[in-house]
Amino acid sequence: MQEIARQHKGFVSEVIYCSSHDGIFLTYYSSECEVSFCGHGTIACMYNLVKNTETLLACSEIPIHTNKKGVLTVYNRIEEQDAVFISAPKPNYISTSLKPNDLIGPLSLERGDISNELPVDFIDAGLRTLLVPLRSTAKLIEIFPNEADLKQFCLQNGIDIIVVFSMNAVDKNHIAHTRVFAPKFGYLEDPATGSGNSAFGYYMLKHKLWNGSLCSVEQGGNDRVFNVVKLHFQNDNMLFGGRATTRIDGFYYY
């Protein structure tokens, strides 16, 4: 599995392996290592699987087994919203001594770019996620950190991914704008992130920025069309959701 994922470096962020013997089992690999959890890959895999499997399409809830995060639930909302929602792993709120000045260099920011109205925080909702608030959405969209420097910073501080965010989205129908950097896994930026935005959802709940009702978060830099990840907190579960587009369909011979 690691070798196949390594062959796809630069083409996909992660490779998701799915088996369906006595249940649905998912395992995640980047080109660098096995990944504890991959939210966008789970959405892509399960959206495609549910939409094209008659027995699954008839189910409103589908349990899935993940290799590192136990059993999660897929909520089938294809008929109503053309989307599936996934229950995020329960959060672990991690203490951190990192201050805004510690982040300026690794993230290629300037003094004053990081907001002093909201705190830097560290939450694991599938991946150990550092959350960094910026003052300006325009600045957020344009930043481009050095991958090697940011990877070293993440490894030194036990960070899986960094979510940099602004509460002022470009599209005012969205609650916030995020970017997610993941150099630990062999690439600088993840264009659409379930685990990172789930951690961001828990951040918003913790700091009373969101009431848990269905919302959308836009994600991406100025080099791409923004992706949209949906969040909903219900029955004490963080749900993240979306839909997928098939780019290539075929058989892999190895």
- Decide whether 2-89 matches 92-240 in CATH topology: yes
| Per-residue pLDDT of the chain in tens (254 residues, 90 and over written 9) | 999 999 999 889 999 999 988 899 999 999 999 999 999 999 999 999 999 999 999 999 999 999 999 999 999 999 999 999 999 999 999 999 999 999 999 999 998 999 999 999 999 999 999 999 999 999 999 999 999 999 999 999 999 999 999 999 999 999 999 999 999 999 999 988 999 999 999 999 999 999 999 999 999 998 778 999 999 999 999 999 999 999 989 888 87
The full set of domain ranges for the chain reads 2-89, 92-240
Q: Give me the DSSP letters along 109-125.
A: --TT-B-SSS--EEEES
**Cα dihedral 209, 214, 220, 221 sign:** negative
Alpha-carbon distance values, 47 to 41, 42, 60, 103, 240 (Å): 10, 8, 13, 36, 13
Predicted local confidence at residue 165, as pLDDT: 98
Annotation: CATH topology of 92-240: Diaminopimelate Epimerase; Chain A, domain 1 (3.10.310)
Q: What is the C-alpha to C-alpha distance for residues 124 and 129, in angstroms, rounded to an integer? A: 6
- Tally of residues, the chain: 254
**Cα dihedral 32, 195, 132, 101 sign:** negative
Predicted local confidence at residue 174, as pLDDT: 97
Predicted local confidence at residue 154, as pLDDT: 98
Q: What is the C-alpha to C-alpha distance for residues 241 and 76, in angstroms, rounded to an integer? A: 10
**What does CATH list as the number for 2-89?**
3.10.310.10
Which pairing describes strands 121-124 and 128-133: parallel, antiparallel, or unpaired? antiparallel
Q: What is the C-alpha to C-alpha distance for residues 22 and 233, in angstroms, rounded to an integer? A: 29
Alpha-carbon distance values, 107 to 4, 61, 143 (Å): 30, 39, 8
β-strand partners of 166? 177
Q: How many CB atoms lie within 10 A of CB 237?
A: 15
Q: Which of 183, 177, 185, 189 is nearest to 229 (CA)?
A: 177
Q: CA-based Rg of the chain, rounded to a whole angstrom?
A: 18
β-strand partners of 74? 62, 86
